[in-house]
Amino acid sequence: MSDKPFQYEPSIRTQKSNDTIERSQDIGEGGETHQDVGDGARLTTAQGIAVSDNQNALKAGARGPTLLEDFHFREKMFHFDHERIPERVVHARGYGARGYFETTEAIPELTSAHLLQEKGRKVPAFVRFSTVAGNKGSMDLARDVRGFAVKLYTDEGNWDIVGNNIPVFFIQDAMKFPDLVHSVKEAPDRAFPQAQSAHDNFWDFISLMPEAMHMIMWTMSDRAIPRSFRFMEGFGVHTFRFVNADGEAKFVKFHWKPKQGLQSVVWDEAVKINGADPDFHRRDLWAAIQSGDYPEWELGVQVFDDDFADSFPFDILDATKLIPEEDVPVRIIGRLVLDSVVDNFFAETEQVAFCTQNIVPGIDFTNDPLLQGRNFSYLDTQIKRLGGPNFTHIPVNAPKCPFAHFQQDGHMAMHNPSGRANYEPNSWKDGGPRADTNAGFRSYAEEVSGEKRRVRADLFADHYSQARQFYRSQTEVEQTHIADALVFELSKCEVLEIRERVVAHLPNIDDGLAKAVADGLGLEEVPQAHEPRREIVADLKMSKALSILKNGPNSFKGRKLGILATDGIDGGLLQSLMDAVKDVGGMAEIVAPTIGGITTARGKKYAADEKVDGGPSVLYDAVAVLASEEGVQKLKTMHPAKDFVTDAFSHAKFIAVSGEAVALFQAAGVTEFDDGVIEISEADDCTAFVERCGKLRYWDRTP
């Protein structure tokens, strides 16, 4: 693997935007001079020391570890971690649940981790899902990365796999993390927009950071608007190491594969769901666990050695890259089951503290510069948020195995050393714990050498090849959604130059994508492409694993049918439909003109789960409309009822209708049905319809 370094800087230099305001220097108290951030002043530390490189952390060699002496990085990250209280700076809106992890395949040849030595071993687990950009009060269906953080309470201590639902990230070096988050958060002068990336600051930053283009393809895809926490993948993002009992190491990447398959919503649904139920993901997870439909993921690993790493065309330490599953298959070694909701949201979900540094013997870090920075940042953040160094005493954060140390005092100390000894070494008879040279954690003995320089390895400079691979691996429907998302987001940018700079990256990914976005933005032509730092590998193999639609579940299990029903319908048909959904492990809710429910033609009453204006079709994976002749006349006068069917139709959902309900569609302007609309009149029709719903959407209906 090439170790040739390069000096990383943003590739595109720009003049100030037209709306930049020139400001004079402000003289603060004591006569010190403070220059505004935007006036072109020399960048310094808070101590006034001029900064020579604000793009790269200091490393021992181009691929070496980040050095603790890098005061600029530490100060920058330290201040970023502490700039908001009391909610998390990122991942503020989260939802957690408890469960367990079970090893399904022992791998002692790869790792000495106790948990993975024997099939069937179980440990408690806590999982927190989250959005990244919004605050605690924002909505669930923002277009955003989703955090997927897992805390495993093992017999050797807590092991935190702190990842996302996307396997790559925007940046390569943790030095840029504060800048990334500042750019996507609300603008500091106006405090909006909230929980959105569709604004000038974010896209200005992205346009100047080509390394982000792979992640942009993911965040503009349907991966960023998942249907549910239960139907999304999780990834450890970084490359870690497995180390076995003999000290032999291999590289490993972690994957969480949902047993119920992948599923997302479309953008118009996301917008409407946020209005109808901003807690949609929270409610979904709560309801699934409470009903006994426990979400489950398989833990898979991609394991590879130095020979593969050296031959791989990209650097395995680069967090903006992935390893295609076709190159290194994912090996399933365990399962994660969430079977319990929290007793108190604040005590557990709000106070849980994940740290990437929390690993157990048999797991080790690599020199991934983003991971190295996270190891510092996460611990520092938790100390700030939770009031001091004793956040590990909070029950949700405390290990469930025995622990002993000499750490003492501080805010909220619940455990202090007993007896006289609070130091080590000591000569007292009851002198407290001692290091265990046999079972204690040992870092992998990796040879490290190199000049101290702010650089990145040469292979980090390819920013477009895997972005191209991701886009080409999508179905036509998914590619259209990516183009539409880019057009929507960039349409919110007020500065034309920013739009053009972003679009100028797209020809390096796909000419068709570039043209579609340029046309959607009304640009006269596609801007000239930015010059890549490295030659683009244009012929990377397409990867089926990168597409949601190519990995459909072919089952309605765990999903929800919304049944818009009126008085006077055939109760037997309604019951048959509900039974058919239940038989495949799905859920059904009755949506009615009033919350009082409906009465069938034979006088049987059914309670309503939702009133029609509070239960729009966007909340359901598929819908059915069962109406009597009198009932459909009432529905035709209700705007929410007409929206129910037009939205379901435009969102490509499978739809079941009874004969009388056809009139509602006609009144709403849906005059022609396709093969995704199924008329039902008897029990067998209901079974066939639910089977069709296993495909999730009737995509042939979309343009």
Q: Give me the CATH number covering residue 583.
A: 3.40.50.880
Question: Sorting pLDDT into bands at 50, 70 and 90, what band is 492?
Answer: very high
User: The tokens of 685 are what?
Assistant: 């029709």
Report the C-alpha gap between 178 and 343 in whole angstroms.
34
Please indicate, yes or no, if residue 340 is contained in any of the structural domains. yes
User: Is residue 267 located within the same domain as residue 141?
Assistant: yes
Is 164 noted as a catalytic residue in this protein?
yes
Report the C-alpha gap between 348 and 96 in whole angstroms.
8
Question: Sorting pLDDT into bands at 50, 70 and 90, what band is 362?
Answer: very high
Q: How high is the pLDDT of residue 556? A: 97
Report the C-alpha gap between 680 and 519 in whole angstroms.
43
pLDDT surpasses 70 at 387: yes
Q: What is the mean pLDDT of residues 680-685?
A: 96
Q: How many domains does the chain have?
A: 3
Helix 571-583, helix 683-692: angle, nearest 10: 40
Question: Sorting pLDDT into bands at 50, 70 and 90, what band is 79?
Answer: confident
Widest Cα–Cα separation across the chain = 91
Domain boundary among 520, 549, 578: 549
Domain boundary among 533, 549, 565: 549
User: Is residue 560 located within the same domain as residue 697?
Assistant: yes
Question: Sorting pLDDT into bands at 50, 70 and 90, what band is 43?
Answer: confident
Residue-number span of the structural domain to which 526 is assigned: 459-549
Higher-confidence residue of 472 and 83: namely: 472
Higher-confidence residue of 516 and 703: namely: 516
User: Is residue 331 located within the same domain as residue 352?
Assistant: yes
Report the C-alpha gap between 564 and 665 in whole angstroms.
12
Q: Which residues, at least 6 apart from 191, have a Cβ–Cβ distance to it below 8 Å?
A: none
DSSP assignments along 60-119, one per residue: ESTTSPBPTT-HHHHHHHHHHHTSS-SS-SSS-SEEEEEEEEEESS--TTT---GGGSST
Q: What is the pLDDT of residues 190-241, one digit of tens each?
A: 999 999 999 999 999 999 999 999 999 999 999 999 999 999 999 999 999 9
Please indicate, yes or no, if residue 36 is contained in any of the structural domains. no
Q: What is the mean pLDDT of residues 371-381?
A: 93
pLDDT surpasses 60 at 25: no
Q: How high is the pLDDT of residue 84? A: 60
Please indicate, yes or no, if residue 18 is contained in any of the structural domains. no
Burial class (CB in 10 A: 0-12, 13-18, 19+), 684: exposed
Q: How high is the pLDDT of residue 415? A: 84
User: Is residue 595 located within the same domain as residue 523?
Assistant: no
Element (H, E) at 525: none
Please indicate, yes or no, if residue 402 is contained in any of the structural domains. no
Which residue type is seen at 120?
Answer: G
User: Is residue 594 located within the same domain as residue 651?
Assistant: yes
> For 495, phi and psi rounded to 5 degrees?
-95, 115
User: Is residue 573 located within the same domain as residue 616?
Assistant: yes
Question: Sorting pLDDT into bands at 50, 70 and 90, what band is 21?
Answer: very low
Q: What is the pLDDT of residues 156-183, one digit of tens each?
A: 999 999 999 999 999 999 999 999 999 9
Q: How high is the pLDDT of residue 1? A: 53
DSSP assignments along 526-564, one per residue: PPPPPPPSS---TTPPP-GGG-SGGG--SS-TT-EEEEE
Percent of the chain at pLDDT > 90 equals 80
CA 300 to chain centre: 17
User: Is residue 174 located within the same domain as residue 298?
Assistant: yes
Report the C-alpha gap between 368 and 213 in whole angstroms.
19
Report the C-alpha gap between 289 and 339 in whole angstroms.
6
> Among candidates 229, 276, 3, which has minimal Cα distance to 96?
229
Other C-beta atoms closer than 10 Å to the C-beta of 488 total 14
Q: How high is the pLDDT of residue 404? A: 86
Report the C-alpha gap between 464 and 480 in whole angstroms.
19
Please indicate, yes or no, if residue 52 is contained in any of the structural domains. no
Question: Which of the following is catalytic: 91, 199, 214, 463?
Answer: 91
Which of 303-317, 409-423, 614-628 comes out lowest in average pLDDT?
409-423
DSSP label at residue 584 = T
pLDDT surpasses 70 at 360: yes
User: The tokens of 586 are what?
Assistant: 């799905």
Question: Which of the following is catalytic: 164, 358, 367, 375?
Answer: 164
> For 642, phi and psi rounded to 5 degrees?
-70, -40
**pTM for the full model?**
0.90
Which of 56-70, 81-95, 430-444, 654-668 comes out lowest in average pLDDT?
81-95
Please indicate, yes or no, if residue 449 is contained in any of the structural domains. no
Q: What is the pLDDT of residues 102-148, one digit of tens each?
A: 999 999 999 999 999 999 999 999 999 999 999 999 999 999 999 99
Q: What is the mean pLDDT of residues 586-602?
A: 97
DSSP assignments along 357-375, one per residue: T---TTEE----HHHHHHH
Domain of residue 496, CATH code: 1.20.1370.20
Q: What is the pLDDT of residues 622-650, one digit of tens each?
A: 999 999 999 999 999 999 999 999 999 99
**Beta strand ranges found along 320-360 (DSSP E):** 331-340
In this structure, are residues 268 and 390 in contact, taking their beta carbons and an 8 Å threshold? no
User: The tokens of 577 are what?
Assistant: 């439909």
Q: What is the mean pLDDT of residues 242-249?
A: 96
Report the C-alpha gap between 270 and 208 in whole angstroms.
29
Domain boundary among 347, 374, 393: 393
What 3-state class would DSSP assign to 639? helix
Question: Sorting pLDDT into bands at 50, 70 and 90, what band is 6?
Answer: low
Please indicate, yes or no, if residue 310 is contained in any of the structural domains. yes
Rounded to the nearest integer, the mean pLDDT of the chain is 92
Q: What is the mean pLDDT of residues 602-625?
A: 97
User: Is residue 532 located within the same domain as residue 590?
Assistant: no
Q: How high is the pLDDT of residue 432? A: 87
User: Is residue 478 located within the same domain as residue 518?
Assistant: yes
pLDDT surpasses 70 at 278: yes
Please indicate, yes or no, if residue 16 is contained in any of the structural domains. no
User: Is residue 616 located within the same domain as residue 530?
Assistant: no
> Among candidates 395, 377, 370, which has minimal Cα distance to 318?
370
Question: Sorting pLDDT into bands at 50, 70 and 90, what band is 39?
Answer: low
Q: Cα angle vertex 143, ends 140, 145, to 5°?
A: 85
In DSSP terms, 147 is beta-bridged to 130, 164
User: Is residue 501 located within the same domain as residue 607?
Assistant: no
Burial class (CB in 10 A: 0-12, 13-18, 19+), 108: middle
Domain of residue 324, CATH code: 2.40.180.10
Q: Burial code of 503-528, b = ≥16 C-beta within 10 A, e = fewer?
A: bbbbbbbbeebbbbbbebbebeebbe
In this structure, are residues 9 and 456 in contact, taking their beta carbons and an 8 Å threshold? no
In DSSP terms, 453 is beta-bridged to 59
Burial class (CB in 10 A: 0-12, 13-18, 19+), 389: middle
User: Is residue 364 located within the same domain as residue 477?
Assistant: no
Other C-beta atoms closer than 10 Å to the C-beta of 695 total 17
pLDDT surpasses 80 at 673: yes
